[in-house]
Amino acid sequence: MASNQVAIRRKPPVDCSYSAMGWPNKISDLYRYLIMILVLNVPPIYLIFLLNMRHVNFTPVTWFYFSCVVLGYYILPLLIVASLLLLIFFPFKKLLFIPLGAVITIFVHYLLIDHFVYNIAKIHIDLFWLEWILYDFKAFGLQVSTIRNIIMALFGIIGAEVGIFVIAWRIKKPRFLVATFWLLTILTFGVSQVIHVFAYERNVNQITSLTPHLPLYIPIISHRDAVKYGKLFPISESESVSIAKESQSLLNYPLSEMKYSPSSNRKLPNIVIIFLESWRFDMMNENVTPNIFSLSQKSSVFLNHFSSGNSTVAGIFGLFYSLHPTYWTAVKANSDFIYNPVFIDALKDNKYIFGIYAKSQFKRHKIKDTIFRGIEIHESFAGKNSVEQDKDMTEQLLSFIRKQHCSRNPYMAFAFYKSNHFPYRYPKEDSIFLPAEDINIMFAKDNTDPVYYRNDYMNSTHYVDRLIGEIIKQIDSLGDMANTVIIITTDHSDELNDNRANYWGHGGNFTKYQTMVPLVLYIPDREPQQIEYRTSHIDVVPTLLQEIFGCTNDIGDYSNGRNLFEKQTELRPFVIGNYVNHAFIIDDNVYEIYPFYTKKYKLEDINLKASRPPPDILKIVMEEINRFYKDNDTNKRNESGVFLKANRESLYDVTR
């Protein structure tokens, strides 16, 4: 009897925090269980990300940064979602693990499938491509066996997650698990972004080169203290370059060595490229831009021309690199291998003198390090506003042109005017379009009449045209028009509530009001003409390399573009970029791509829904946006080229 009583006394106490069914009654116990599930998911997620890094030459700093990104950038959002689910479902805690398990399973499955897609096509899966695959996976090139493997992988992940849930239930959970995990994920997120800001500022390739390998990754790239504290970063730029040279570049650009067969009896011309910031396609006429219009009467004018972006960086990158803006991140990450675009290389090889004039933060945007590396950029102009600074920039450019006139070497001049960027600025003598008032655009609505803004914009454009007229007159007075190529265009257009949808400026959508721009190309001895078929900024460099330098390479070796003067009649897709996303323009349809959403609308009217894109055209788009990635071996590229040509020949003709 006594022994029985002793036995009863030694029985462990009942844990009152759990119900008879084994479910935690306290939210703290349930939360620790939830956190433990996420902790156990970290290793497989980390391993999947590591599979994308097989060409990365890891150093201790790279390992640390990569680990912080995985834990802070990708696990932290899972932690936030899981915490929200706990708050929502705690009254129904037995149902909590269904949505939680679904979220984690879908996330891990996405990462795994994205790895295989990225390994083959060098693109990360977003909703646009996922929708296409689900709609017509055969057109995408997937076999039934591939779909079967994807489904099997899903069931495998479900089984693994069930095991993780069971282990997490049984394993002992430390008391401070929740606080520790929250602190660790927040801290690693902050550390990873600070590292990237400093690395981006100092061109530390071993850090920045990881970005293209990571899906849905948009790191912070700049901060006002990056320059001030950048020297505290433990890796110097020179060390980064030496490390980068030992690793493998992500890009293969150009695909083959550039070859030229220039005319022996012709002097290479000067090249003058002028950008009017935010220049609309309907603002090149004798009223708004009389000087440019006068030059256009002697030039090739492209009436259906598109920029490569609705932002400055995408527009400039597309013109000088002749690549789709989707390559921009990879080019920045691999700038040590590329150095400069083939166009700039051709100019340097032919001993061109450079005069680059632009106050557009080219260094911060990495335009200097990727397009004008080793070239001085003049960005200091006298004046307290854009009107005065544009005037001084013109004077500096005119001085450069006069100085080079007596030089035996040709020159390339680039000028980027800013006065017709919002808020539009101009002297009083250019107030020729009225009424024009300084109105606060913050109070604009869908039905706001854009007449005031439009006139304000036209006045500022008229002022910039007046400055450009001085450049044209200077070249003409020196007798250099017969030996100077002049290109006048812009980085993007500017919308003025054209669709009555309250869109103003640029960067808001990819309708023609933000992407369609003027292009005036003056080439001596070429008959003036107006070209109506569609063209793009990415066509400018191939045209110059063929027409001026006698490039004998196939354009596909170094560009996504075409020669501007080769008439195109087939349906041609365009890839247009932004700072954070991109869009495909196919015929009169726009497909604006976000990671978890695709916005579809008409090129003419954002209020109208786009139709479904043709699968054959999407195959062409996919080939073009992954052509220059290094994992695509020669045979695959050749097959893609044959496929691309065959598809173009089979498409119905659409006169542009």
Euclidean distance between CA atoms 119 and 97, whole angstroms = 33
In angstroms, the Cα distances linking 348 to 33, 342, 397, 414 are: 63, 10, 20, 15
pTM of the model: 0.81
Give the chain's residues under pLDDT 70.
1-25, 121, 132-143, 222-249, 263-265, 438-443, 631-656
CB contact at 8 A, 290 and 433: no
Contacts of 318-322 with CB under 8 Å at 24 or more apart are 318/536, 318/537, 318/538, 318/577, 319/489, 319/537, 319/538, 319/540, 319/541, 320/344, 320/371, 320/541, 321/371, 321/538, 321/541, 322/538, 322/539, 322/540, 322/541, 322/542, 322/558, 322/559, 322/560, 322/561
Closest CA to 425 of 391, 402, 394, 374: 391
Whose structure tokens read 């030496």? 242
CB contact at 8 A, 75 and 42: yes
Whose structure tokens read 């805690």? 93
pLDDT at residue number 122: 72
Q: What are the backbone angles phi and psi of residue 573, rounded to the nearest 5°?
A: -80, 150
DSSP 587: T
Euclidean distance between CA atoms 515 and 495, whole angstroms = 9
Model pLDDT for residues 430-467, shown as the tens digit of each residue = 999 988 776 666 667 788 888 889 999 999 999 999 99
pLDDT at residue number 151: 87
Euclidean distance between CA atoms 298 and 304, whole angstroms = 18
Whose structure tokens read 């829904």? 609
Euclidean distance between CA atoms 221 and 234, whole angstroms = 18
- Give the sign of the dihedral formed by CA 583, CA 585, CA 588, CA 589: negative
pLDDT at residue number 414: 98
Euclidean distance between CA atoms 611 and 571, whole angstroms = 15
Of 3.40.50.620, 3.40.720.10, 3.40.50.1220, 3.40.50.300, the CATH number of 270-560+573-650 is 3.40.720.10
pLDDT at residue number 438: 67
Closest CA to 591 of 135, 1, 78, 121: 135
Residue 596, amino acid: F
Strand ranges for 466-596 from DSSP E: 484-489, 495-496, 504-505, 520-522, 529-531, 535-536, 574-577, 582-586, 589-594
pLDDT at residue number 19: 42
pLDDT at residue number 6: 45
C-alpha count within 13 angstroms, C-beta hemisphere, residue 437: 8
Euclidean distance between CA atoms 543 and 299, whole angstroms = 14
CB contact at 8 A, 511 and 282: no
Closest CA to 294 of 520, 523, 533, 483: 520
pLDDT at residue number 397: 98
Residue 433, amino acid: F
Map out the domains of the chain as residue ranges: 27-246, 270-560+573-650
